[in-house]
Structure 1
């Protein structure tokens, strides 16, 4: 697991909390910000997964 995966997961959790709090308070801006954070976290997680895939491919081709 890459650092980006961890940061992405944390960002998704933070975004979900913001979304839920925004809904509970009737604060649309906070709710939308939470959804945006979730999306950003998903992208960050995907970048981490891509990095892992590239590293694995490089390691496989480097084997004798």
Structure 2
């Protein structure tokens, strides 16, 4: 059974990944290496959260 909290965590992970990707794209366009790295880090963190939620889903079923 899927709870509201699980749905919220998935949305948070997707949002974090999208923010990281957008930040990386913008920073790359203007040539800011530090912000590009921060965008990559945020994107990776979002990917890790999504993987965590998918793993939880497997055990919830």
Which TM-score bucket, shorter chain as reference?
0.7 to 0.9
Structure with higher Rg: it is 1
Where does the alignment leave 5 or more consecutive residues of structure 2 unmatched?
none
**What corresponds to 1:5 in structure 2?**
10
**What corresponds to 2:46 in structure 1?**
41
Where does the alignment leave 5 or more consecutive residues of structure 1 unmatched?
57-64
Aligned partners of 2:23 and 2:29: how far apart in 1? Answer: 10
Find runs of 4+ consecutive structure 1 residues off by over 3 angstroms.
none
TM-score by length of 1: 0.79
Number of aligned residues: 56
**What corresponds to 1:62 in structure 2?**
none
Q: CA deviation at 1:4?
A: 2.4
In structure 2, the residue corresponding to 1:29 is in which secondary structure? helix
Alignment root-mean-square deviation, CA: 1.3
